Chains A and B, each alone.
Chain A
Amino acid sequence: MQALLTQPFLVSLLFGAVTAGLPLLLAGLGEQISEKAGVMNIGLEGMMLIGAYTGFLATYTTGSFWLGFLAGGVGGMCAALIVLFLCIRKGLNQIVIGIAITVGAEGLTSLLHYVEFSRSYPRLSAAPVFALPLLSRIPVLGKGLFSHNPLVYLCAILVAALTWLFRSTYLGISLEAAGNKPAALDAAGVDVIATRSFAVLCTGFLAGVGGAYLANVGAGLFVPFITGGAGVIGIVLAMLARGRPLWVLIGAALFGASLAMTTALQVAGINVPTDVVQMLPFAVVMLVLVIFARNSMLPAALGLPYVRGER
């Protein structure tokens, strides 16, 4: 156990947890916005994958990481447009379309990667790091938590901003109503379809940025299927968090830490099968659910299309 408490181990664990957890956080927060508004986004994984590709492409061609995040967000939004038109406006089945988006994104990004990069397999240079003044000088914590790409700090602010938005703004209440009692929102004179459309575009943007971070900062390259289930974990996090952004953050940290654990253990010279460590967060969450089993309190109209005047 002594070997586990050394500085390099703890630093690599913390640093890795943030790097691996950030895409999960962004995807989870995005999904949360949709779910609040009553839209179930099973296509989250596909949105991340599209964002990862467009983000990588933008950073590779321009060299700018910020443009990469932006392009990732726009890519995710493009995928979200499919949900917007087919599920929200036309009321098609959200699960079928969601799976179509994920499967289609897997195929399309594989195809584009094959055409563009399969001979060169380019890598990006290391992403810029911004060390927070003072905080980054704290031993262990400084290098682990406060010396990251600036996007990380923006996301911390985003969690606080979303908490405030959900709780005390007109928009937040509208989102909640669109998910719980869309007819009431409609009667109050707010456009349910527009509210849900806005929510889904936000989801696409955040998931896309998360995918871009995963490819550009986490891996430094794009390979097909790079998201490897991150979107599905994002859906799980959003559902477990019951509408509270802070809980998405906690969950993302837990899952990020377990993803980082294997690398950190290798740094410490301990060889544990990856699979065992990766089972841990899921096992913990299942255990918590069994012990404190309660209704997951999802919005009443989750997954149901809204058709005006239909009961």
Chain B
Amino acid sequence: MSVETGIHSGRSAALLRVLIPVVMALIVGGLILTVLGKNPLDYYGYVLQRSLMRWGGAQETLTRMAPLLLIAAGLIVAFRAGIWNLGGDGQFLLAAVASAALAPALLSTHVPRAATLIVCMLVGSLVGALWSLLPAWLKARHGVNEIITTLMMSFLGTSLANVLIKLVLNDPDTTVPQTRSLPVDDRLPRLFGTTIHCGLVLAILAVILVHLMMTRTAFGLKLQVLGANRAAAVHAGLKVERLTLLAFALSAGLIGLGGAVEVLGVWGTVRADWNPALGLLVVPLVFLARFNGYAVIGFTLFFSALLVGGESAARRVGVPQHYVLVLVALLLLFLALVEYLDQTRRKPGTA
């Protein structure tokens, strides 16, 4: 390791690497709004006010982080092990549907609330993990590219979730097909009188544990070797097939847990055609955090605030809700660019 100097040293550099792209994205996004005749300062002001400045909005921002963090934890495991699990949406939705259907059923047979919630979260993780079994087996056994298989299983999973809701698990008392609703009092316990459910704590713990597992344990090291060089892993005598299956199961299981937590904590039911499609949105966050769990928490907070604040700010300023996606894309582009510039400055001559 060479000694770093100037603005690249330590934390201030890390902070700059995040701050510069954020400011750039906000400026360019603001220019787009100005061209359309809207006041960008109004928009940003509303975003900030709604997502962080008001207690209600801040609670929503924090609550929205829980599924994002669990998906991120799942992706960190997979990506560090060199596995492209891009099927998060299917794993997330099926787990959500399974736990949403199971919870009211268990409660009606007088299973205690705590046991119900724990069982439902476990079942959610299991369903997520099971949905990755086929791509995992194909990859481990036959080397079939997992990008195609996980994407296909994701399409299959979202359709299957809809079929289950419409034909099998629907609540006969509602007109819109949805699973039986879990009463608000039976959902995941709230933290200290706020509206934030304890899934957030679980999610933060999961990200930190995953980070420690990948960086500090022998198992994590094996997965990293697998990710860095598959041939080398075989050569070193690692059980590559088993490791691949385990990495897939852990990754999809955590994403499934995300689906279960979102449903048990916030919605209490899954409606037909509901698909938050968070799977792909979280991928870049994980990349930009360089697979680092602590950095992911920071990125997720920012991202969550943007999602929560962007929705109401768009209504107030008179732009469509999806304008926030433009900001997200700009942010990704600038983050990647700054990362690149930073790297080329560190080792001059190689780029």
Contact = CB atoms under 8 A, between A and B. Distances in A.
Interface of A: 82, 86, 90-93, 95-97, 99-108, 110-111, 113-115, 118, 224, 229, 232-233, 235-236, 239-240, 273, 275-276, 278-279, 282-283, 285-286, 289-290, 293-296, 298, 307, 310
A148 B33 CA distance: 41
B330 interface: yes
A99 B284 contact: yes
B280 A298 contact: no
Contact of B322 (A99, A106, A289): A106
Given A107-B328, A296-B144, A91 B163 contact: no
A104 B325 contact: yes
Interface in B206-225: none
Interface in B147-194: 147-149, 151-153, 155-156, 159-160, 162-163, 166-167
A19 B326 CA distance: 30
A185 to B, nearest CB: 20
Q: Which of B36, B149, B329, B330 has the most CB of A within 10 A?
A: B329
A95 B283 contact: yes
B242 interface: no
B112 interface: no
Contacts of A233: 155
Contacts of B340: 90-92
On chain B, which size bracket covers the interface? 35 or more
Contacts of B283: 95-96, 99
Contacts of A232: 151, 155
A97 B163 contact: no
B148 A239 contact: yes
Interface stretch (B50-58, B66-74, B232-240, B331-339): B331-339
A235 B151 CA distance: 9
Given A101-B329, A104-B330, A298-B145, A86 B336 contact: yes
Contact of A279 (B156, B326, B351): B156
Nearest to B328: A103
B266 interface: no
Interface of B: 32, 36, 84, 134, 138, 141-145, 147-149, 151-153, 155-156, 159-160, 162-163, 166-167, 280-281, 283-284, 287-288, 319-330, 332-333, 336-337, 339-340, 350-351
Contacts of A224: 320, 322
Contacts, number: 150
B144 A92 contact: no
A91 B287 contact: no
A289 B147 CA distance: 13
A293 B141 CA distance: 9
Contacts of B332: 96-97, 99-100, 103
Given A96-B332, A233-B155, A290-B134, 6 more contacts: A86-B337, A100-B328, A100-B332, A111-B36, A111-B319, A235-B151
> Chain A contact residues: over half helix, strand or loop, or mixed?
helix
A295 B320 contact: no
B136 to A, nearest CB: 12
A100 B284 contact: yes
Given A103-B325, A111-B319, A93 B336 contact: yes
Contact of A104 (B162, B281, B326, B336): B326
B325 A96 contact: no
Contact of B145 (A86, A92, A239): A239
Contacts of A278: 155, 159
Contact of B333 (A97, A294, A296, A298): A97
Contacts of A99: 280-281, 283-284, 332
B151 A275 contact: no
B159 to A, nearest CB: 4
A93 B160 CA distance: 32
Nearest to A112: B36
A224 B288 CA distance: 28
Contacts of A103: 280-281, 325, 328-329, 332
Contact of B159 (A106, A108, A236, A279): A279
B350 A295 contact: no
Contact of B138 (A82, A118, A240, A293): A293
B329 A107 contact: yes
A96 B329 contact: no
Contacts of B320: 110-111, 113-114, 118, 224
Contact of A286 (B134, B166, B322, B325): B134
A278 B168 CA distance: 18
A133 B143 CA distance: 48
Closest 9 pairs between A and B when the two form their complex, measured CB to CB = A104-B329, A107-B325, A107-B326, A110-B322, A100-B332, A293-B142, A296-B145, A114-B320, A275-B162
